[in-house]
């Protein structure tokens, strides 16, 4: 079961400009920036004073994420629930009939992660994350 919302993924066309916006407007601070070729993005994790983080995602050229940005524009992309056992949760959700994008956890920015298909979560792309 989900413990809390770890972060909210937000698709942006320009990471630098978007980061400055969240800093200036909402007081967010940069936790880290990493390029993740296998997800087709450069990502900056932003923190507020406490609680849920924001993950700004700028697509790499010619990636699947670049096509999503072109089609849908900038905006909210996914929410990530922190769980204790992502492998166990995938099994449990699969038994409930939930369609998974990742059948097995894979390394993410801060632990093992797996995505659930939005068609099983009423249009919301959900990521599960088990911190290491």
Here's the x/- map for a second copy, 20-59, by CB under 8 A: it reads as -x--xxxxx-------------------xxxxx-x-----
Distance of alpha carbon 54 from alpha carbon 9, whole angstroms: 6
Residue 98 binds a second copy, judged by CB under 8 A: yes
Q: Which of residues 113-132 bind a second copy (CB under 8 A)?
A: 118, 121-124, 126
User: What is the full DSSP assignment across 38-53?
Assistant: GGTEEEEEEE-SSS-E
| Beta-ladder partners of 41 | 36, 59
DSSP state of 125: -
What does DSSP assign to residue 120? Answer: G
Which residue in the set 36, 60, 66, 79 belongs to the binding site for a second copy (CB under 8 A)?
79
Shorter beta-carbon distance to a second copy: residue 21 or 66: 21
**Least distance (Å) from a second copy to the CB of residue 106?**
20
CB of 46 to a second copy, least distance (A): 10
The answer to whether residues 43 and 109 touch, using CB atoms and an 8 Å cutoff, is yes
Task: Look at the alpha carbons of 41, 38, 32, 100 in this order and tell me if their dihedral is positive or negative.
Answer: positive
Q: What's the length of the chain? A: 132
Least distance in Å: CB of 60 to a second copy? 18
Residues that bind a second copy (CB under 8 A): 1-5, 8, 10-13, 17-18, 21, 24-28, 48-52, 54, 73-79, 81, 93, 96, 98, 118, 121-124, 126
């Amino acid at each position: 079961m989900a413990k809390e919302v770890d972060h909210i993924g937000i698709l942006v066309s320009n990471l630098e400009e978007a980061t400055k916006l969240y800093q200036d407007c909402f007081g967010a601070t940069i936790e880290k920036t990493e390029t993740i070729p296998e997800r087709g993005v450069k990502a900056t994790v932003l923190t507020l004073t406490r609680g849920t983080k924001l993950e700004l995602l700028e697509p790499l050229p010619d990636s699947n994420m670049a096509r999503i940005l072109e089609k849908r524009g900038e905006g909210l992309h996914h929410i990530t629930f922190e769980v204790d056992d992502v492998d166990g949760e995938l099994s449990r959700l699969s038994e409930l009939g939930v369609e998974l994008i990742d059948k097995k956890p894979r390394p993410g920015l801060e632990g093992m992660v797996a995505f659930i298909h939005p068609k099983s979560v009423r249009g919301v792309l959900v990521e599960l994350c088990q911190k290491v």
